[in-house]
A and B are shown apart, each in its own frame.
Chain A
Amino acid sequence: SQKIEQNSEALNIQEGKTATLTCNYTNYSPAYLQWYRQDPGRGPVFLLLIRENEKEKRKERLKVTFDTTLKQSLFHITASQPADSATYLCALGVTGGGNKLTFGTGTQLKVEL
């Protein structure tokens, strides 16, 4: 069956360090993968999209990699700040049929001073 796995344990890091979050999937052939940020009591907010033919995408302090052979995406936040503390969700999309997104359960990141 199709499965998306994100580390369910919270990730605690010190301010200024690089946070790395993992998204693994099985039995999927996604056309693209997205990362979202979700704060308590709020809806997810889009961060980055990477397509199956792309290896890496960057946006300011954010970097996403996508390895379709390993079936894995890594999400990096460099020079992390306490304001980066949130839950981060990965989502896989397939073309056609409404471009439906399938989400992982998310990883909670806490950046400490």
Chain B
Amino acid sequence: NAGVTQTPKFQVLKTGQSMTLQCAQDMNHEYMSWYRQDPGMGLRLIHYSVGAGITDQGEVPNGYNVSRSTTEDFPLRLLSAAPSQTSVYFCASYLRAGEAFFGQGTRLTVV
């Protein structure tokens, strides 16, 4: 039981490049979310999903896309990276109104 697995752990992108941050969970959780964490800002919700095939926007969705084709996977796509997207990204999965399980994070730098 690995919990929530995020890849890669570190990534450097050039402005304008695209990439996908991977997130997988093996706990059969319905709910999954992507957050970004910036100094002094706390964790902010980017997108979330309440089940396979269902996604919705969070607080800061611009510049990001998600899809949820299976219960296990919830990838986050950066369409055209910008320096403002330099951040630490966390994926989480959770039960209804229950504890969230977070991955180890992806530290992304856009130059």
Contact = CB atoms under 8 A, between A and B. Distances in A.
Interface residues of A, number: 27
A53 B41 CA distance: 29
Interface string B93-107: 010111111111100
B46 to A, nearest CB: 11
A32 B43 contact: no
B101 A46 contact: yes
B82 interface: no
A43 B100 CA distance: 11
B98 A49 contact: yes
A31 B90 contact: no
B93 to A, nearest CB: 11
Given A98-B49, A101-B100, A89 B43 contact: yes
B97 A95 contact: yes
B97 A106 contact: no
B56 A98 contact: yes
A39 B31 CA distance: 24
A34 B99 contact: yes
A38 to B, nearest CB: 9
24 contacts: A34-B99, A34-B100, A36-B100, A42-B105, A43-B92, A43-B102, A43-B103, A44-B102, A45-B102, A46-B99, A46-B100, A49-B97, A89-B43, A95-B97, A97-B56, A98-B33, A98-B49, A99-B96, A100-B45, A101-B100, A103-B44, A104-B42, A105-B41, A105-B42
